[in-house]
Structure 1
């Protein structure tokens, strides 16, 4: 039975409030966004309070610590590859309503998750027209962001994130072309949510670098793997130095930096992720007997005598995967290293009530607690993102106000 919460402060009766504002805020910030949206109708004081930047920040901080979730994007068929679900801390899988307008596009990709906002790339049937949608699934606000080079013939690498220094969310598009060579950067544009406009920026350090599509945001910067391209003009040969560096983009200052890779050694796969709001690299290694996973965390400090500004710390090592033939790390979630076996599906014998399952292994980076979970499978493949519910606004653009034709 749903409980009814009576208003603590009635309009026009603030002097006779039952509870002080600080206690009321402490209660309200613990509630889900759906309830808070309903409570905006209680009185004018609540409506104004729930829209203040300070309350939105308090609610986000509490939600990030108490209710972080894993967001799954399920890949199905070419005609319908978009379905979302949330895995909460209680290991309950919840379906998420689709973003607006995705039915008008043949392909949908999430390129960023930051403070409850998602950045989606929408691709048309001919794979040439691209559009970006910023979306808050909790408040159901969405904003269409037209791309200035929608007919670009090449590769677009997209980043999305927030900088507390300038209090702004930004989208970065790195345009790369193939000119008889591997894709190399030839233009970069930045979109600011505060100004709602694009601008072209310099990308000097990216000369001769090919950028990966995988991106994460941590501590006010976006990060990609960078491939150093060695070019031999005489022999027309191009060689990749696999993951030669990490490309960093400072969201506040809009400056690119190349960061050296950690001394990982040989491994089967490296994954960019975030650990305690710092960039981290997960890698899996193996012998004939077992797999293990390592995590390296990036720290920044004043340059030492050698001039080095960045330092990698080997933070985590786990050999909990003994007996598993092949395990891949995917993401860090509430200090847990989330991995999956290959293939990631349970056998027919392990299916429950005929439903196909996805297996995940969680190993805690601090306590080393190890557990295996199985969740319902909605598609042939999946991508995982960290997500936290929030009241963060993207301009008060409601779903029904968006023109499907843009």
Structure 2
């Protein structure tokens, strides 16, 4: 005999229809509903129900950006790639006694004992992209990837793209170094569109630091595709000023998945300026978005998304202080930026004795609240509320830590074939 559906949160209404209704409301409203009553809170927190409910920022994975002896490199000898080492550190914003996820990723490392030197590269809608290198490390090696879901402890190994890193030949002039020395690899995943994910791997040359190559991976086909030729043909066809090559990707300044496309900041070669580039699931450049044109918007500090919009944060030195300005792209098609908020370093940190770019790093924008997170002087992580103008200490962090925001995804995936 089937067990009757229990009721509780709303008298006379079974839980399943209520959960279906709640799955359609914004995360901000869902968080408010938790305060209605204990029954509502338990309903929303139920592990069976939260698979259907929208989730929000729960915390941050942290780790060293570089190991001893590394000098601006991605930890495997290759430049670029961003991210940080896997250091078994998770900052829980909710303050649980036990962390929401296993920060050591033992569910993965115990199953793949041969992988070492794991870096967290990117996160997208609850999935994480990890990169690792073989042990022992050699002067010539390929990089491996794993896509995993820390909430469900599911994962899948991704084969090498075939790109081979090699150390520079001894005695070769830097200007003659034509190696592809680095890669920036991103994860694209949208469960509302498909259970499958894509990886975009951009490659750069040593002598010109120009993004010249592109490999894409599809979990649906299980193979990598070299699309470098497509990019070159696009440039040769006379479209380079609009959709052609761009310079180095500023991976440390964040990225955003908005309107079904991945956005990141690039140093554009032809235009000699910082631009936001939007690429589709195949890595094709769809548009360039100009940085907000204003006297108060100078140097890029961060790019992210919140409440369905693209956000950028800029900084400008004004006397002994620095002004941090938050912009929102209110109209994506018309490219209309609106200044949402501005705050000085004096308001944030209570001191003017600090240097731009050296004493703070913007690490995240809350996806559902008017809140930004900043690592200050490499010692503490703070949050700034744009509505209340309050500054709160979140956690203590190491000076050389990289930080990856984490929004959980509780549904199991047929694509992530391995489970702890």
TM-score (norm 2): 0.67
Is residue 341 of structure 2 the alignment partner of residue 316 of structure 1? yes
Query: 1:386 matched to which residue of 2?
Result: 405
Correspondence for 2:365 among 329, 332, 355: 332
Residue pairs, 1:5-404, within 5 angstroms: 12-13=1-2, 16-19=4-7, 20=14, 21-23=16-18, 30-31=44-45, 33=47, 36=48, 56=51, 58-59=52-53, 61=54, 63-64=55-56, 68-75=57-64, 77-78=67-68, 81-91=85-95, 94=99, 96-98=103-105, 100-101=108-109, 104-124=114-134, 125-126=137-138, 128-152=141-165, 153-163=180-190, 166-167=193-194, 168-178=196-206, 180-186=207-213, 188-201=214-227, 202-203=230-231, 204=234, 205=240, 207-214=244-251, 215-230=255-270, 241-243=272-274, 245-251=275-281, 255-263=285-293, 265=295, 267=298, 269-302=300-333, 309-319=334-344, 320-321=347-348, 322-326=350-354, 327-333=360-366, 334-342=369-377, 344-345=378-379, 359-365=380-386, 367-373=387-393, 375-377=395-397, 379-394=398-413, 395-399=415-419
What secondary structure is seen at the aligned counterpart in 2 of 1:389? coil
The CA distance in 2 between the partners of 1:82 and 1:71, in whole Å, is 12
The structure 1 segments of at least 4 consecutive aligned residues displaced by more than 6 Å after TM superposition are 24-29
Query: 1:349 matched to which residue of 2?
Result: none
Superposition deviation, residue 128 in structure 1: 3.1
Aligned-residue CA RMSD (Å): 3.3
Query: 1:42 matched to which residue of 2?
Result: none
The CA distance in 2 between the partners of 1:122 and 1:216, in whole Å, is 24
What secondary structure is seen at the aligned counterpart in 2 of 1:96? coil
Q: Deviations over 1:310-334 (max 9, x none)?
A: 2222222113234243343222123
Return the structure number with greater strand share. 1
Q: Structure 1: any 5+ residue segments left out of the alignment?
A: 1-11, 37-49, 231-239, 303-308, 346-358, 401-406
- The answer as to whether partners of 2:61 and 2:103 remain within 8 angstroms in 1 is no
The CA distance in 1 between the partners of 2:90 and 2:303, in whole Å, is 21
The CA distance in 2 between the partners of 1:160 and 1:313, in whole Å, is 28
What secondary structure is seen at the aligned counterpart in 2 of 1:282? strand
Q: Deviations over 1:146-203 (max 9, x none)?
A: 122241542211111234674243211112224x4232323x2222234433334433
Cα distance change of structure 1 residues 208 and 220 upon mapping to structure 2, 3 Å threshold = closer
- The answer as to whether partners of 1:105 and 1:122 remain within 8 angstroms in 2 is yes
The CA distance in 1 between the partners of 2:393 and 2:332, in whole Å, is 38
The CA distance in 2 between the partners of 1:253 and 1:77, in whole Å, is 30
Cα distance change of structure 1 residues 208 and 396 upon mapping to structure 2, 3 Å threshold = closer
Cα distance change of structure 1 residues 242 and 282 upon mapping to structure 2, 3 Å threshold = same
Cα distance change of structure 1 residues 17 and 90 upon mapping to structure 2, 3 Å threshold = closer
Q: Deviations over 1:80-122 (max 9, x none)?
A: 9421433334356846232623764453332221222111122
The CA distance in 1 between the partners of 2:201 and 2:330, in whole Å, is 26
Q: Structure 2: any 5+ residue segments left out of the alignment?
A: 8-13, 23-39, 69-74, 76-83, 166-179, 235-239, 355-359
- The answer as to whether partners of 1:119 and 1:160 remain within 8 angstroms in 2 is yes
The CA distance in 2 between the partners of 1:340 and 1:132, in whole Å, is 28
